[in-house]
Amino acid sequence: MARMKAIEAAVLILEREGVGVAFGVPGAAINPLYAALRARGSIRHILARHVEGASHMADGYARAKAGNIGVCIGTSGPAGTDMITGLYAAAADSIPILCITGQAPRAKLHKEDFQAVDIESIARPVAKWSVTVREPALVPGVFQNAFHLMRSGRPGPVLIDLPIDVQMAEIEFDVEAYESLPPYRPAATRRQAERALALLNAAERPLIVAGGGVIGADAADLLVRFAELTGVPVVPTLMGWGAIPDDHPLMAGMVGLQTSHRYANASFLESDFVFGIGNRWANRHTGSVEVYTRGRRFIHVDIEPTQIGRVFGPDLGIVSDARAALARFLEVAEEMRGRGALRDWSAWAEACRHRKNVMLRKTHFDSVPLKPQRVYEEMNAVFDRETCYVSTIGLSQIAGAQFLHVYRPRHWINCGQAGPLGWTLPAALGVRAADPARKIVALSGDYDFQFLIEELAVGAQHKLPYLHVVVNNSYLGLIRQAQRGFGMDFEVSLAFENINAAADGDAVAGYGVDHVAVAEGLGCKAIRVKSPNEFKAAFAEAERLMAAHQVPVVLEFICERVTNIAMGAEVDSVNEFEEILCLDPTLSLRRSQDLGAPATAAG
């Protein structure tokens, strides 16, 4: 037992809980924590340029590796409110991050003191737990419980608010006696697994829907084994992308309204049974419940009891950690296979593979300005199976999900439900801080890139190199496309004549912000690509610059200002706005009035 400041005990607990990196911005009310971090020297601190950026860095850090918990730190008042978006983004996708804020002294909390705000109440709706610690002796227990809650059940974020006098007060604490609280994770029973496999065995055309819970539970290996044992095709959700490699014979593609494949939607519409594991039935995956569920039976496995039946009632609901459930399913399926009782779905799986091979969207366009589809085609050609993509929202992300390929879990890192603009850049920095060796490619539209563009300086200062692909059409592209339903194109254009463009022979007239100049001003490197014949050299130069300078490199592609990306209101009525391919004329394709040129096998 030793006598120390409460905040010193907190830092010792962070160490014991495995925290190696923290992201934040110091300030008067949180300086005691920074003093304790400096004294220990055991936790790397990365100084953000905006506290919201710090929260997204912590989010990316947590998503990068199983078991990681991201930590972000800010002072009192606006630092905490700036991190609310980060808490919401983490909570929405079940990501464990710990936000630590400073606070005014306890005696001033009700006096409207400078930068004193009730952040505990503000954060409560978007955090798994939000607490202002009012007694110094409670600090160790609060931190211990925070890690327990973040790891238990459905993971999520916690906010701990520390008045400055609580941080500074002395307490008795024995770090050698400290132990982490074991997390609680429900597990499927043998009886539940038997019932699930009996329902599956009665289906003729089943699909497995693999959600982000499979990746969160580090269960991708078991998912692939279960799919291979049963022969049932797998549909990953956007958050589950990478749980099964894109080129696996049983990977049937992604279903949905936006981030979906034509062949996957077609296979889903032919299915009669859906086995959902670790997914939420998110509305951009399902569309209307009526269309999605018609003619199908459902199993839903989720770690969070309140998710079962939230969107629609399944035929069987199982509350379980995805890894524990899959282990049980494998056990029962292996026994059924051993006694010849497991159904053969090979013909159905082959039909899904056939659709995957022939129902495609065209990507090869040679036009200038560039078609975004061509950008993704070139990315597929250049980036290998180990590439990790980071993205948040917009037409760039939607098209990326339609055209890119992911082969490993945690190699598609996407803020799926909240989708805050600006998330991509700091999240990519967090992923880099978590894994110094991983090949990281961030993907943004121009508006997402501009939201927290100042965080590029963090990558330059702290030597966090990664490649940032910016698909620039100088538009809020997704909102512009949505405004078509209102017959307008209003306040979504980012274009203007930059008065400095004439001085730069490489600048693009009318596209507004010079991202290359901004990136270089923030200490990074940047390349602008305008035509298809520049692709190969640009990617090679970007790799060279990253290796030489160990800073983020921005690769900006100047795209045509208006390109509509395939999407629709229902899984059975996705509009194809560009040329489409069908290499099998016997398959019927829905043709929208928005469809331009006829389908062709060219490209």
Active site residues: 25, 51, 421, 476, 479
Which residue type occupies 405? H
How many Å apart are CA 436 and CA 459, to the nearest integer? Answer: 12
Give residues with Cβ within 8 angstroms of 547, minimum separation 6. 465
Kindly report the backbone phi and psi dihedral angles of residue 513, in degrees, each rounded to the nearest multiple of 5, phi listed first.
-60, 130
Which residue type occupies 51? V
Structure tokens given for 26:
């110091």
Which residue type occupies 505? G
Kindly report the backbone phi and psi dihedral angles of residue 206, in degrees, each rounded to the nearest multiple of 5, phi listed first.
-85, 155
The helix (run of H) or strand (run of E) holding residue 518 is helix 515-521
Contact 303, 258 (CB under 8 A): no
Structure tokens given for 269:
């519409």
The DSSP call for residue 370 is B
How many Å apart are CA 176 and CA 168, to the nearest integer? Answer: 22
Among 167, 164, 125, which Cα is nearest to 143's? 167
Q: Is the dihedral of CA 502, 506, 509, 514 positive or negative?
A: negative
Contact 245, 251 (CB under 8 A): yes
Which residue type occupies 340? G
How many Å apart are CA 173 and CA 7, to the nearest integer? Answer: 11
Structure tokens given for 90:
């983490």
Q: At which residue do the structure tokens 């009525």 appear?
A: 573
How many Å apart are CA 574 and CA 566, to the nearest integer? Answer: 7
Structure tokens given for 526:
């940047």
What's the N-to-C CA distance of the chain in angstroms? 71
Cα–Cα distances in angstroms (integers) from residue 323 to residues 81, 206, 223, 237, in the given order: 35, 21, 8, 17
How many Å apart are CA 89 and CA 56, to the nearest integer? Answer: 8
Long-range residue pairs from 331-336, CB within 8 A, at least 24 positions apart, any chain:
331/190, 331/193, 332/190, 332/193, 332/194, 332/196, 332/197, 333/197, 333/226, 333/229, 333/230, 334/229, 336/197, 336/201
**CA-based R_g, the chain, Å:** 25
Which residue type occupies 516? V
Contact 508, 530 (CB under 8 A): yes
The DSSP call for residue 363 is -
